[in-house]
Amino acid sequence: MDILVVLEDKSGNIHRMSQEAIAGAQQIGGECGLSIGVLALGENAPALAEQASQYAVEEILSLENKYLFNYTADGFAAAVAQVVSSEKPKYVFFGHTYQIRDYVPRVSAKLKRPFLNDIVSYSVQGGKPVFSKQAFNAKLVTALQLIDDSPCIVSFQSAAFSSDTIQSGLVSVRSVTVNIDAGSIKTVPEDPFQETAGGVDLSSADLIVSIGRGISKEENISIAQELAKAMGAEIASSRPVVDSGWLPPHHQVGSSGQTVAPKLYLALGISGAIQHVVGMKGSKNIVVINKDPDAPLFEIADYGVVGDLLEIVPKLTEAIQGFKN
């Protein structure tokens, strides 16, 4: 295969960002005439391979190995490096998740191949993809130039592609094996846990009202909650609101919190730091209300209001209650 997409497991299902990487592979592969293979590894490899077999790709590889049952950077880096060495793709694609940040630089070092991480866009030059990433806290963007034509490793930022565009097909699965020496696994993981229990799964919410530092005081949060109630929306927030203790952590949207793509993301007093934006930029409609006309979040807004949310929101709540009745 020319492009190998490595799948990440989310509780037995293909991680959304791996699906986006497949969509990206199909798009780039189509434009540049590149074939696609998909690699499933880990405890749930067979289930992931089965799900991937319904996508329009050329090959599906399933890798089962007892040293990959629990994720470790040692194990996963060794496994992926071996598969890449034997399959020899030109590109290896990933979604840019925390797990990828943890082990893929090791793959890059083992193979001595560049890892182009957190890619936001690409262009085609001379029949080949050229990848671009952001720099300086997402204020600038640059294309990445490679030393040579040999394989490169790429991870895509959330929502660089949409899993909605995946084309279906029917492909059979082939097993692959790797050799992992027990002594090479130098990390023993414990079970993952959540620090605060419960909370709504924001990723399945259709409508979200999200609160940022611009809410100013803890007492003002109820203004946003009233609006959410009137609209039938869930409440979310940026990190500073949670760090101040004004809302419990499960409301947090962003790279360390939840990633959402609702029909409506109404952001109140959120400036738009990159760690927040990656958690919501896939939202279908983004409405931004902020007092600061330079707030970066306006860049990705469908509708923007430069104004005082403390004045606007109560009146908006009243109007919505009106039309709902």
For residues 5-64, which are near other proteins according to CB under 8 A?
none
With binding defined as CB under 8 A, does residue 181 bind other proteins? Answer: no
Supply the minimum distance, in Å, between the C-beta of residue 269 and other proteins: 15
AA letter at 85: S
With binding defined as CB under 8 A, does residue 188 bind other proteins? Answer: yes
**By CB under 8 A, which span of 40-48, 54-62, 66-74, 83-91 interacts with other proteins?**
66-74
Please state, in angstroms and rounded to a whole number, the distance separating the CA atoms of residues 151 and 135: 23
With binding defined as CB under 8 A, does residue 227 bind other proteins? Answer: no
Supply the minimum distance, in Å, between the C-beta of residue 36 and other proteins: 23
Other CB atoms within 10 A of residue 197 CB: 8
With binding defined as CB under 8 A, does residue 250 bind other proteins? Answer: yes
Supply the minimum distance, in Å, between the C-beta of residue 119 and other proteins: 11
With binding defined as CB under 8 A, does residue 182 bind other proteins? Answer: no
- Closest to 211 in 3D by CA, of 181, 236, 175: 236
**Out of 12, 86, 189, 292, the residue judged to bind other proteins by CB under 8 A:** 189
- Rounding to the nearest 10 degrees, give the CA dihedral for residues 235, 236, 239, 243: 30
**By CB under 8 A, which span of 85-93, 96-104, 172-180, 212-220 interacts with other proteins?**
96-104
Supply the minimum distance, in Å, between the C-beta of residue 204 and other proteins: 13
**Out of 47, 114, 173, 225, the residue judged to bind other proteins by CB under 8 A:** 114
**Out of 163, 237, 238, 259, the residue judged to bind other proteins by CB under 8 A:** 259
Other CB atoms within 10 A of residue 323 CB: 7
Rg of the chain, C-alpha, whole Å: 22
**By CB under 8 A, which span of 32-40, 86-94, 102-110, 216-224 interacts with other proteins?**
102-110
Instruction: Give the count of alpha carbons within 13 A of 235, CB side only.
Output: 20
Supply the minimum distance, in Å, between the C-beta of residue 113 and other proteins: 7
Beta bridge partners of 267: 210, 288
Which CB atom, from 110 or from 128, has the smaller least distance to other proteins? 110
Please state, in angstroms and rounded to a whole number, the distance separating the CA atoms of residues 273 and 120: 16
User: Which of the residues 288 through 307 are near other proteins (CB under 8 A)?
Assistant: 298-307
Which CB atom, from 60 or from 266, has the smaller least distance to other proteins? 266
User: Which of the residues 134 through 153 are near other proteins (CB under 8 A)?
Assistant: 134-147, 152
The tokens for 10 are 């989310």
Which CB atom, from 94 or from 298, has the smaller least distance to other proteins? 298
Sign of the alpha-carbon torsion through 121, 30, 125, 155: positive
| Cβ–Cβ under 8 Å, residues 259 and 223 | no
Helix (H, G, I), strand (E, B) or coil at 177: coil
- Closest to 161 in 3D by CA, of 219, 212, 121, 204: 121
Helices 309-324 and 221-231: angle between axes, nearest 10 degrees: 20
| Cβ–Cβ under 8 Å, residues 251 and 237 | yes
With binding defined as CB under 8 A, does residue 310 bind other proteins? Answer: no
Which CB atom, from 46 or from 248, has the smaller least distance to other proteins? 248
**Out of 30, 244, 285, 292, the residue judged to bind other proteins by CB under 8 A:** 285
With binding defined as CB under 8 A, does residue 124 bind other proteins? Answer: no
**By CB under 8 A, which span of 28-36, 48-56, 171-179, 313-321 interacts with other proteins?**
313-321
| Cβ–Cβ under 8 Å, residues 271 and 300 | no
